[in-house]
Amino acid sequence: MLKQIFFVLSFLSFALLPLISVAQIPNPGFEQWSSGTPDGWLTDNVIGFALPVTQSTTSHSGSFALKGTVVTTISVPYTPALWTGQIGEGFPVSQRHARLIGFYQFTPVSGDKIFIQADMFRNSNLVGWGAITISTAAAAYSQFTVDVNYITGDVPDTCIVHSTIVGPSTGSDYHVGSTMLLDDLSFSGIANSVSDEVKVPQHYLLSQNYPNPFNPTTKIRFTIIDSRFTTLKVYDVLGREVATLVNEVKQPGVYNAQWDASASGLPSGIYFYKLQAGSFTEAKKMLFLK
């Protein structure tokens, strides 16, 4: 009897290993959706404003995939963006994953590209990261690979996967109609070494704040590609500056800034945040709801 129990437990453990290996990435095949958003992910969808991220039945496997389209809102392009975690906070990891693998289709307009990034953190400090841009159109599903380069010997405890569509020059010059499909994300391999060369980000990027709407704090993620004096400021709907979150020289890398709207006693409403680094400038809208 004990042998039979041992055999059953051993079989279940073996059978569950493939599930455990892919279960770290939340909803990796984008099969589960709630209220128009993939479970386990944050998107820049804003109901009543723009819905650039939608569910698609054109899948690599399973029933669904994620579709991201640059749409028009208030007469300007609005790009799709997504982050792992319900509020973009990422998900737990316990290994030095070497590669992020997935499958995509892409219909670019005027040189737009898919941008995919994987960041590894330990105690909120960046210990490894990798990113790629995909510019080639793909009518059928093709595989992509993001190599993760570690800058320390630490084992990460959190990973944030981020994807969006960027323009050909500044990253923010994307075009309405560019469309991507993503499906079946997974990790592959374990990295044992520390990279001697830290790869520099290829595009400036100002992400949608998360959460949005928010009360009273929200995070703003941005990417700097070279050493520049950088400012990140918040404005009300009348264009009055209400907060300065960054005002210093930043080295190439990925950064997070946090804004606490309650600190200034501000009312609920729409606010704008603007990133300026050298000649690069981009602004986005956010909603504070008490």
What pLDDT was estimated at residue 197? 57
What tens digit of pLDDT does each residue of 91-125 get?
999 999 999 999 999 999 999 999 998 988 888 77
At the top level of CATH, the class of 27-190 is mainly beta
pLDDT band at 200, cuts 50/70/90? low
* Inter-residue contact 94 to 23 (CB < 8 Å): no
pLDDT band at 199, cuts 50/70/90? low
Neighbours of 242 (CB within 10 A): 15
Task: Give the 3-state secondary structure of residue 18.
Answer: helix
Query: 72 Cβ partners below 8 Å, 6+ apart?
Result: 78, 176
What pLDDT was estimated at residue 88? 78
DSSP state, 263? Answer: G
Cα-based torsion angle of the residue sequence 90, 285, 170, 132 in order, rounded to the nearest 10 degrees: 20
Distance CA 185, CA 36 (A): 20
Which residue type does 166 have? V
Better pLDDT: 201 or 220: 220
Q: Are strands 113-122 and 81-84 parallel, antiparallel or unpaired?
A: unpaired
pLDDT band at 208, cuts 50/70/90? confident
Q: Give the domain ranges of the chain.
A: 27-190, 205-288
Tokens representing 260?
A: 């606490």
- 205-288 CATH, one of 3.40.309.10, 2.40.170.20, 3.40.630.10, 2.60.40.1930: 2.60.40.1930
* Inter-residue contact 44 to 81 (CB < 8 Å): yes
pLDDT band at 256, cuts 50/70/90? confident
